[in-house]
Chain A
């Protein structure tokens, strides 16, 4: 028997003997994994499918949808399709569901909601055809090819409309995709604003946090421990409580304005709340511990004798710090900065309470589209965009720092 074969047998035997241990380890993790699939992964899946689902028109106009499935899309459909539409609308008029399909059609073709409603009223009173002439006489739009292209598209089970809208794209009736006009383009700039606020918060926490982490590292343990407590305590405090405090602090007749007036830095009270400055300040405050802790844990592992060695070799104090010490802190700065950036992208409470209309982030728009406009599709599509950006940066974090770097306290 050759040595290679024996080696393979041995490897297989080792693998086989490891299998029970693998199974035990996996079984311990299984309940949590199953739980996460039900309570976390499945809801995210529901969000993804809500971003492409397209039920309204199919539900209200089922016969029309079936009739349009055979339509060639080259010219206005013939009488059978109009007859199906008349039958659907007659029922919709009784059930009062025409507005539902009208709202959906209106997203892609402004004005369709009122056309649907008046057509439904007409169909409710009509009993016999020919329906084609009847619809076109009521509104010439029913004779236009574009109208039918849009109806056919919205009658499909899935749509790209919401995802395209969330990226400032639109689909013409003939199916071509183009950028929306500048005045209607809001979502890419919303994404840019969200990234920009997160970047400002990240820079703010690094600038404030880096010296803190350094001083905590080099002070005697008794002092360092107290400083660390001051960093950890806010981390434990409810985000809502801290945001509330900033609402009070930033008010026009609040404490910060009092201090500014008293010191003579300003002559009149500044608008701090409902501003970008207020939003970023409150967010920096909330995120600061998340940035400090990873930097601190890396700094703690760097031997202080290295700076001493650099100094004894003749390096000036500053260059000993920046050229010997600081480069070694980079993993901590990157880990802390990325955590803060990722978490800042998803902020909702703080911009909602401290920010003005121009400081609302993607999460706030998602909530608005649900609560005010009842537009679940667009809200979900915005959620998909936010999720994609977040997961991309989380992937970068895992690649650079690894999952075991996530810790607190």
Chain B
């Protein structure tokens, strides 16, 4: 049970047991927030006490009955869908190029492509505000989508590149040598083979945009507010259980996206 070889000594077994208990506690720590957010969202009380005594759907009714929350969901979905389409197309093409060893300055270009992942988000937000302000893109959907796509791009590039590393390029060569035009080879040979990676990348892009707070905070006004921005200002001003309902909905969405991505990942490995 301790996953130790049979020759392990007594102290060794004790030590391993201690490590296992430690790891179990860390794993509980990792998922603890879910056991807070979900129960509180269905608690009848207006303040946060656990365990929950009485259950009710009132915070969900609050959420779905409130125009502001609904409008913020719609804004978020529109931005996230547009981001997903743009980032997936640009990122897949870039990954296809970068997967070729003859790409000029490959390492430098790859490092640049990944940098939106590591540049502090506030810097991106302030810079976008300054730059987009001159172009009249503040408080517009295109402005937000432009910024979110830049942030989502590295996730698509990395995911598709990982899938491409297992793709047999002989398939492309075979297609080309049989006389198919390159575009047909891409759509009928390469794309079906790397589809799990592309879709995983698309899911990542959607999640990045749907969760993003800081850039949205800088680039949107009240009527273009996204769901995370609405939540953020709620937590800042007056934290109430409706936010827990919103958090649970976001959580449910993440779990669905996560399951689909994991399933695709496994399918991609098998292919």
- A interface residue numbers (CB < 8 A to B): 18, 21-22, 24-33, 35-36, 38-40, 42-47, 50, 208-209, 211-212, 214-215, 218-220, 227, 229-234, 236-249, 251, 253-255, 258, 285, 288-289, 308, 311, 317-318, 342-343, 345-346, 348-349, 352-353, 362-363, 366-367, 370, 376, 379-380, 383, 386-387, 390-391, 394, 398, 402-404, 406-409
Q: Which of B29, B146, B231, B255 contacts A236 (CB 8 A)?
A: B255
Q: Which of B3, B150, B250 contacts A35 (CB 8 A)?
A: B150
A29-B103, A244-B231 as given contacts; A346 in contact with B120, CB under 8 Å = yes
* Chain B contacts for A28, CB-based, 8 A: 93-94, 96-97
B53-61, B62-70, B127-135: which lies at the interface:
B127-135
CB of B271 within 8 Å of the partner chain: no
Are B122 and A367 closer than 8 Å at their CB atoms?
yes
Are A211 and B22 closer than 8 Å at their CB atoms?
yes
A22-B104, A241-B33 as given contacts; A47 in contact with B110, CB under 8 Å = no
Listed by A's residue number, 20 A-B pairs whose Cβ atoms lie within 8 Å are A28-B93, A29-B93, A31-B90, A40-B124, A43-B147, A233-B258, A237-B34, A239-B213, A240-B228, A244-B239, A254-B48, A343-B118, A346-B119, A346-B121, A383-B123, A386-B122, A406-B114, A407-B158, A409-B159, A409-B262
Measured CA separation A126–B262 after assembly (Å):
77
Chain B 197-248 interface residues, beta-carbon cutoff 8 Å to A: 200, 207, 210-211, 213-214, 228, 231-232, 235-236, 239, 243-244, 247
Pick the most buried of B29, B131, B244, B251: most chain A CB atoms within 10 A of its CB: B131
Question: Which residue of B has the minimal Cβ distance to A42?
Answer: B131
Question: Which residue of A has the minimal Cβ distance to B96?
Answer: A28
Chain B 145-159 interface residues, beta-carbon cutoff 8 Å to A: 146-147, 149-150, 153-154, 157-159
Are B122 and A366 closer than 8 Å at their CB atoms?
yes
Question: Which residue of B has the minimal Cβ distance to A234?
Answer: B30
Distance (Å) between the CB of A335 and the closest chain B CB? 13
Chain B 100-146 interface residues, beta-carbon cutoff 8 Å to A: 100, 102-104, 107, 109-124, 126-128, 130-132, 134, 146
* Chain A contacts for B265, CB-based, 8 A: 409
Taking chain A's interface residues, is the majority helix, strand, or loop, or is none over half, making it mixed? helix
Are B127 and A349 closer than 8 Å at their CB atoms?
no
* Chain A contacts for B19, CB-based, 8 A: 211, 214-215
Measured CA separation A219–B23 after assembly (Å):
12
Pick the most buried of A211, A233, A251, A367: most chain B CB atoms within 10 A of its CB: A233
* Chain A contacts for B131, CB-based, 8 A: 42-43, 45-46
Measured CA separation A180–B91 after assembly (Å):
47
Measured CA separation A20–B166 after assembly (Å):
24
Measured CA separation A163–B153 after assembly (Å):
31
Are B257 and A236 closer than 8 Å at their CB atoms?
yes
Are B115 and A244 closer than 8 Å at their CB atoms?
no
- B interface residue numbers (CB < 8 A to A): 3, 5, 7-9, 12, 15, 19-20, 22-23, 26-27, 29-34, 36-37, 40, 48-50, 86, 90-91, 93-94, 96-98, 100, 102-104, 107, 109-124, 126-128, 130-132, 134, 146-147, 149-150, 153-154, 157-159, 161-162, 200, 207, 210-211, 213-214, 228, 231-232, 235-236, 239, 243-244, 247, 250-251, 254-255, 257-258, 261-262, 265
Distance (Å) between the CB of B108 and the closest chain A CB? 9
Measured CA separation A368–B81 after assembly (Å):
31
Are A31 and B31 closer than 8 Å at their CB atoms?
no
Q: Knowing that A243-B235, A402-B107 are A-B contacts, what are 12 other residue pairs whose CB atoms are under 8 Å apart, sorted by A's residue number?
A: A27-B97, A33-B113, A39-B150, A241-B250, A248-B40, A248-B48, A253-B49, A311-B5, A317-B8, A346-B121, A366-B126, A394-B118
Are A36 and B20 closer than 8 Å at their CB atoms?
no
* Chain B contacts for A251, CB-based, 8 A: 48
Are B90 and A35 closer than 8 Å at their CB atoms?
yes
Q: Which of A18, A245, A311, A398 contacts B102 (CB 8 A)?
A: A18
Question: Which residue of A has the minimal Cβ distance to B98?
Answer: A29
A44-B127, A220-B3, A251-B48 as given contacts; A232 in contact with B231, CB under 8 Å = no
